């Protein structure tokens, strides 16, 4: 028996930095670029260890991790231990390991006590747009490994830690798809199904818990929300919800995980707000991503902005309130039948983002990105506007454009010329904004992939 689940990447079109505070919201779009996770039963007669889960990401070199697992005493959950390989040095993947620990811990509480968690093999695939393939990097030799029903996966030719990310939210999509695949595989459909809203809420809460733990208990969670629900308006949860879980393996950890995930705790309740109502992409338009292939240190950028906010509370609040107003205007304009207000909304947001960057000393919209956005908006017919999304910096830019071959062709030509003139290594990605979140996939569509 095999199970496949995919989850989308994200682009925080409006609400960068604001989304860290529950007083404000973020407008986040899911992307057509997805992380795919397949779970396959292992036949114990083949000589596999009884309590072993093997995880591999065959698009990268040496990307395989073997884990042993066992139930801890005093309701401490399922302990996960990475097993050493005799032929290759051990490398860690905190997102996979943590998602496995939290996922198995929850599953152990839901399954009947007499049910055994059987060994499985888990395979991870990433759509191509999550990683840059520049001529100057070894990953430029990436070649398709298979194409199955319009799904194409590449051999990136590098180790996972050496790959250049494009900033589309790969870790959140991974944790969500990984968690969704575990739940869908181990739990009967009568207990868990992505088609039921209550189960999607369980996936969200469990993915938030494991993703937060894996990345050092930081972040607002908008990327996980997008991976689970797709495009939405997001208001973050109170950090105290997840801090009440305590450490894995401690007495009662499994019980606390179940209560938090199912939102049945008597002491803490989920207060996040996720709305898909009236959030859309205008007819005949598309959200497209342009990869800049530089990368930014998001954590340090966020730290500096929050330090500025703490030192200048009145000034920063006034600016954040203005940004919230224009962010809401952008969302309303996107959902309306008239697109005339969109260019002004994009311009107003960018003006205030640049001001935030100047005041905090953080390159939220760096000069290079300003020049690019100004030039592409003025120079390519059909480009309505764009921003440096999320925390900003050099990861990517997002553009709202007319969805036709003429506009996309002109945009591609413009970006190639931009690169040839030495203004920046920018290219149009295939990822588009889309509304759908995590979904169960047809395992047969992966039949051509070597498993």
Domain identity same for 104 and 244: yes
> Are residues 235 and 22 in contact, defined by beta-carbon separation less than 8 angstroms?
yes
Mean pLDDT calculated for residue range 413-417 = 95
Residue 374: CATH number of its domain:
3.30.70.890
Residues 272 and 323 in one domain: no
In this structure, is the dihedral angle defined by the CA atoms of residues 22, 280, 218 and 121, taken in order, positive or negative? positive
Where residue 134 falls among pLDDT bands split at 50, 70, 90?
A: very low
Q: What is the mean pLDDT of residues 252-279?
A: 94
For helices 197-214 and 94-110, the axis angle rounded to 10 degrees is 140
CATH of the domain at 21: 3.30.230.10
In a domain, 144, yes or no: no
* Higher pLDDT among residues 311 and 425, named by residue: 311
Query: Using one digit for the tens of pLDDT, what is the confidence trace for 142-195?
Result: 444 444 454 668 889 899 988 888 889 999 999 999 999 999 999 999 999 999
Weakest mean pLDDT among 211-225, 242-256, 283-297: 283-297
> Are 259 and 294 within one domain?
no
Whole-number CA gyration radius for the chain: 22
In a domain, 147, yes or no: no
- The answer to the question of residue 150 being in a domain is no
Q: Tell me, yes or no, whether 166 and 315 share the same domain.
A: no
Q: What one-character DSSP code corresponds to residue 61?
A: B
Of 179, 64, 68, 188, nearest to 119 by C-alpha is 68
CA dist 432 → 59, 315, 449 (Å):
22, 36, 24
pLDDT at 68: 94
The pLDDT of residue 271 is above 80? yes
Q: What pLDDT is stored for residue 245 in this prediction?
A: 93
Domain count, the chain: 2
pLDDT digit string, tens, across residues 15-46:
999 999 999 999 999 999 999 999 999 876 54
Residues 344 and 237 in one domain: no
Model pLDDT, residue 50: 63
Helix, strand, or coil (residue 433): strand
Q: Which domain holds residue 368?
A: 285-434
254/425: higher pLDDT: 254
Provide the pLDDT confidence category of residue 298 given band limits of 50, 70 and 90.
confident
Q: Are residues 227 and 297 in the same domain?
A: no
CA–CA separation, 338 vs 356, rounded Å? 30
Give SS3 for 160: helix
Q: Does residue 271 sit in the same domain as residue 289? A: no
The answer on 203 and 349 residing in a single domain is no
Tokens of 428: 């149009």
Q: What is the DSSP string of 6-29?
A: EEEEEEEEE-TTGGGSTTS-EEEE
Residues 426 and 306 in one domain: yes
């Amino acid at each position: 028996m095999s199970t496949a689940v995919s989850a989308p990447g994200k682009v925080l079109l409006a609400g960068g930095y604001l989304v860290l505070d529950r007083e404000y919201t973020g407008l986040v779009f899911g992307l057509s670029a997805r992380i795919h996770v397949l779970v396959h039963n292992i036949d114990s007669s083949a000589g596999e260890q009884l309590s072993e889960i093997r995880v591999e990401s065959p698009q990268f070199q040496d990307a395989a991790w073997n884990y042993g697992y066992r139930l801890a005493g005093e309701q401490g959950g399922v302990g996960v231990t990475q097993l050493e390989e005799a032929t290759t040095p051990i490398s860690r993947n905190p997102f996979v390991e943590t998602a496995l620990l939290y996922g198995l811990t929850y599953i152990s509480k839901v399954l009947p006590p007499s049910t055994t968690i059987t060994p499985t093999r888990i395979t991870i695939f990433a759509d191509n747009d999550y990683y840059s393939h520049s001529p100057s990097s070894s990953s430029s030799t990436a070649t398709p490994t298979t194409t199955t029903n319009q799904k194409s996966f590449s051999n990136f030719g590098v180790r996972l830690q050496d790959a250049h990310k494009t900033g589309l939210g790969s870790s959140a999509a991974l944790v969500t798809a990984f968690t969704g695949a575990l739940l869908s595989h181990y739990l009967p459909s009568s207990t868990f199904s992505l088609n039921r809203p209550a189960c999607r809420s369980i996936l969200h809460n469990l993915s938030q818990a494991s993703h937060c733990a894996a990345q050092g208990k930081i972040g607002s969670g908008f990327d996980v929300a997008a991976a689970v629900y797709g495009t939405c308006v997001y208001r973050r949860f109170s950090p105290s919800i997840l801090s009440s879980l305590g450490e894995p393996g401690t007495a009662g950890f499994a019980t606390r995980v179940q209560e938090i995930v199912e939102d049945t705790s008597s002491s803490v309740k989920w207060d996040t707000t996720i709305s898909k109502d009236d959030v859309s992409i205008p007819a005949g338009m598309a959200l497209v991503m342009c990869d800049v292939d530089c990368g930014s240190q998001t954590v340090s950028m966020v730290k500096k902005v929050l330090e500025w906010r703490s030192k200048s509370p009145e000034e920063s609040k006034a600016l954040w309130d203005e940004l919230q107003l224009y962010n809401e205007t952008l969302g309303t304009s996107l959902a309306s039948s008239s697109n005339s207000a969109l260019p002004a909304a994009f311009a107003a947001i960018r003006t205030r983002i640049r001001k935030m960057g100047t005041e905090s000393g953080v390159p939220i919209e760096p000069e290079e990105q300003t020049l690019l956005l100004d030039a592409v908006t003025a120079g390519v017919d059909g480009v309505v506007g764009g921003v440096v999304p999320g925390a900003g910096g050099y990861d990517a830019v997002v553009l709202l454009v007319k969805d036709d071959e003429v506009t996309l062709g002109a945009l591609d030509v413009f970006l190639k010329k931009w690169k040839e003139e030495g203004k920046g290594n920018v290219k149009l990605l295939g990822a588009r904004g889309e509304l759908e979140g995590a979904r169960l996939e047809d395992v047969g569509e992966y039949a051509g992939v070597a498993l």
